[in-house]
Structures are given as structure tokens and as C-alpha cells.
């Protein structure tokens, strides 16, 4: 076991015991799918981890990846819709199959925020969830342990959700906090459970200032400080300016080898190089809840972004629970099921609540 330094709310250092596997650098094979291993094309690899050094050639590769990240891009339509739906059927249509598989097990819910509980919007500061969604998530947390796992700063996503009975994992899982009140599933006393990248805070703040200055000449670019990671949003940047933006980001990051670049939906994600992601956060939370080595736990993770694939992969490797991808178009994914948009997510969560209440 590894002791990982964390800081609790009152500023006192303490140690949380973390399974060694959570920090393993071992590269694992993709999980088996019904027809063999999932395919990993070059564009997918670019989206997962973009190389920072490489001059003009690398910037051009970034731009190609930025184009591929657009939900409206034809490059994403590489699979026939009906075939893809056969492999990743609607979680609403397969609801009985999911709940039957969970019988006799403890469901634990993991939810991404943007694009899952709230719609994707041009201004990330206005990605509000609806009152109906908030009420549904509150009921869900009354039935199952529930965590929000987001690339956003933990405080920011909490201010969007405003439910104290949930677990929150911000900064792609690098800032985890347990429920502050009202949860019968709370097992750990400190309000902050884990901050594995705390030593990177000064560097993140420094790079944030540099990126703000460097990108201010690109209309529509927005740099977001998510505490332990940074996001460079280009949703509102004209495509002809993407090369310019990519060059600006590279000019900053080339001097910071301890930071890595990956990509989500029209956003460049800058994170420390530590082996920590949403999949590691899922494992840590299961450990905190006492389900690390249990066979009677059933995690369900719902998310829409490339960074959620780390969690989907963990569920495949554990052979427990299911991942559900939120997407209207076919994508390479390790998720077992799909939902098209946040409204369908809300319907699925409400059906889970109703099913649980009727089974009591």
C-alpha cells in the first residue's frame, strides 16, 4: 500500500492509504470486446495524449486532432450508426438487463458533469444543470453512493451541482472530497480525501498566467484554471485560428516537461504527468467506500468525454458494473451502453431511483 499526502479542510496534513495499483505505470492492453480488442486509430491516440515538442509538424497534428474532436465533424462518423448501437445499445432500452445484472450488489454511481448532467454550452461558466436534473441527482444519492467526477475545479462543479450529500472528484479526479453532510454512505471523516497533485499547484498557477497572456490575442479562446489542471477552450474560436492557438499553447508548455496535454470536446486539457485520471479516482472512491476488493459492488459510470474513457476501461478490467457513454454520434469507446444527451441521462437516473424504491 502507498501513503499519499493529502490536506484536509482545516489545513492539517494527513496520509490516506492508496492501493499501489493506483500509481502503477504499467501499460495494460485494451479490454476484450465481443469481436476482439477495440481498435485504436491514430486520431484516437492523438486525442488521448498530445506530444508537446515537435515544432510545426506537431502543431499541425494538434490542429488535426482539434478538428477531429468536433462533435459535428464527419471524421467521427467512421462507424455505421446502427452497427454502433448494436455494440453500445441504449441504457434506457436495456434498463432491465442492467438492473438484473446488479441484483444482490451495491450500485455506486459515478457521473461526469459537462455534457452529462448539463448541456455543452459555448461559455463554460454558464454550464448550469436544470432544477429537474438536480432534484433527480438528489434522489439518486438517497438510493446509492453517488460521485461527480469532472475535469472542472472541484469547488466550481460543487457550485453548479449544490448537493452536499455527494462525493466530488474535480480536476480529472486529482481533488476528491467526501460528502459534507446528509449521506448515509460517508465512510471517511476528512472533508478532503485525496489531492495527489498538490505539489504541482505553483506550476499550474504559473502556466495559467502565461497562457492567459499568450492566448489573449486569439478571439474566443478561454483558459480555465481547474486548480490541479488547466483547460484551453476553443469552442468559440474560428477554425482558421486553431493553428495560431495551438502554437501559442505549445510555446508555453514546451518549457514544462512535467505537464502533459490531452484533449476533450473542443478543449485542450493540461495536467501533471502523474499516473492519475478519472479511472484512478473511481478506484480510490470505491476503496474509500470499502468496496475495493468486493465482488458484490456494481459501479455505473456515465460520461461523454474522452477523459471518461479511463473510467470505462477500469470497469472493463474489473469486470464489474458498466460504463455508459453520452453521445449522439458513434465514437470509439470502452463503454457498454449509450445515452444520447443529458435529458436521457436524467430519465435513466430517475428510472434507477424508481426501481430501487420499488425493490425495497
pLDDT digits (tens, 9 = 90+) for 264-277: 888 999 999 999 99
Mean pLDDT over the full length of the chain: 83
pLDDT digits (tens, 9 = 90+) for 335-350: 999 999 999 999 999 9
Domains of the chain, start order: 88-194+275-358 (3.40.50.1000)
Q: In terms of pLDDT, which residue wins out, 182 or 278?
A: 278
Distance between CA 265 and CA 115 in Å, rounded? 9
pLDDT at 346: 98
Q: pLDDT at residue 38 above 50?
A: no
CA atoms within 13 A on the CB side of 282: 31
pLDDT at 259: 97
pLDDT digits (tens, 9 = 90+) for 272-313: 999 999 999 999 999 999 998 899 999 999 999 999 999 999
pTM (whole model) above 0.85:
no
**Highest mean pLDDT: which range of 27-36, 64-73, 219-228:** 219-228
What phi, psi does 347 have (nearest 5°)?
Answer: -60, -45
What mean pLDDT do residues 134-144 have?
97
Q: pLDDT at residue 139 above 80?
A: yes
pLDDT digits (tens, 9 = 90+) for 39-96: 334 344 343 455 655 566 666 776 777 776 665 544 445 447 889 999 999 999 999 9
Q: pLDDT at residue 35 above 60?
A: no
What mean pLDDT do residues 228-238 have?
96
The fraction of the chain above a pLDDT of 90, given in percent, is 69
pLDDT at 61: 73
pLDDT digits (tens, 9 = 90+) for 236-274: 999 999 999 999 999 999 999 999 998 888 899 999 999
Strands 322-326 and 297-303: parallel
pLDDT at 180: 83
Amino acid at each position: 500500500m502507498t501513503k499519499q499526502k493529502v490536506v484536509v479542510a482545516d489545513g492539517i496534513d494527513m496520509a490516506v492509504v492508496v492501493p499501489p495499483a493506483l500509481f502503477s505505470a504499467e501499460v495494460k492492453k485494451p479490454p476484450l470486446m465481443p469481436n476482439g480488442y477495440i481498435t485504436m486509430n491514430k486520431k484516437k491516440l492523438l486525442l488521448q495524449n498530445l506530444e508537446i515538442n515537435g515544432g510545426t509538424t506537431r502543431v499541425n497534428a494538434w490542429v488535426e486532432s482539434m478538428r477531429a474532436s468536433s462533435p459535428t465533424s464527419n471524421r467521427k462518423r467512421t462507424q455505421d450508426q446502427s452497427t454502433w448501437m448494436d455494440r453500445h445499445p441504449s441504457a434506457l432500452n436495456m434498463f432491465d438487463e442492467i438492473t438484473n445484472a446488479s441484483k444482490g450488489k451495491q450500485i455506486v454511481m459515478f457521473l461526469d458533469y459537462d455534457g452529462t448532467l448539463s448541456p455543452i454550452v459555448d461559455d463554460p461558466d454558464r454550464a448550469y444543470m436544470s432544477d429537474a436534473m438536480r432534484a433527480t441527482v438528489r434522489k439518486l444519492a438517497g438510493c446509492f453512493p453517488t460521485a461527480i467526477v469532472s475535469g472542472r475545479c472541484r469547488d466550481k462543479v460543487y457550485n453548479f451541482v449544490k448537493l452536499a450529500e455527494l462525493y466530488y472528484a474535480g480536476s480529472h479526479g486529482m481533488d476528491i472530497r467526501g460528502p459534507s453532510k446528509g449521506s448515509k454512505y460517508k465512510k471517511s471523516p476528512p472533508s478532503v480525501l485525496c489531492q495527489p497533485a498538490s505539489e504541482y499547484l505553483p506550476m499550474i498557477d504559473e502556466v495559467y498566467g502565461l497562457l492567459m497572456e499568450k492566448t489573449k490575442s486569439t478571439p474566443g479562446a478561454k483558459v480555465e484554471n481547474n486548480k490541479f489542471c488547466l483547460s484551453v477552450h476553443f469552442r468559440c474560436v474560428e477554425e482558421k485560428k486553431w493553428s495560431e492557438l495551438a502554437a501559442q499553447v505549445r510555446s508555453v508548455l514546451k518549457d514544462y516537461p512535467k505537464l502533459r496535454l490531452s484533449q476533450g470536446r473542443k478543449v485542450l486539457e493540461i495536467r501533471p504527468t502523474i499516473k492519475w485520471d478519472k479511472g484512478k479516482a473511481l478506484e480510490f472512491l470505491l476503496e474509500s467506500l470499502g468496496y475495493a476488493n468486493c465482488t458484490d459492488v456494481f459501479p455505473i459510470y456515465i460520461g461523454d468525454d474522452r477523459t471518461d474513457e479511463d473510467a470505462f476501461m477500469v470497469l472493463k478490467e474489473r469486470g464489474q458494473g458498466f460504463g455508459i457513454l453520452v453521445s449522439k454520434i458513434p465514437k470509439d469507446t470502452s463503454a457498454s451502453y449509450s445515452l444520447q444527451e443529458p435529458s436521457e441521462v436524467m430519465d435513466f437516473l430517475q428510472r434507477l431511483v424508481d426501481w430501487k424504491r420499488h425493490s425495497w
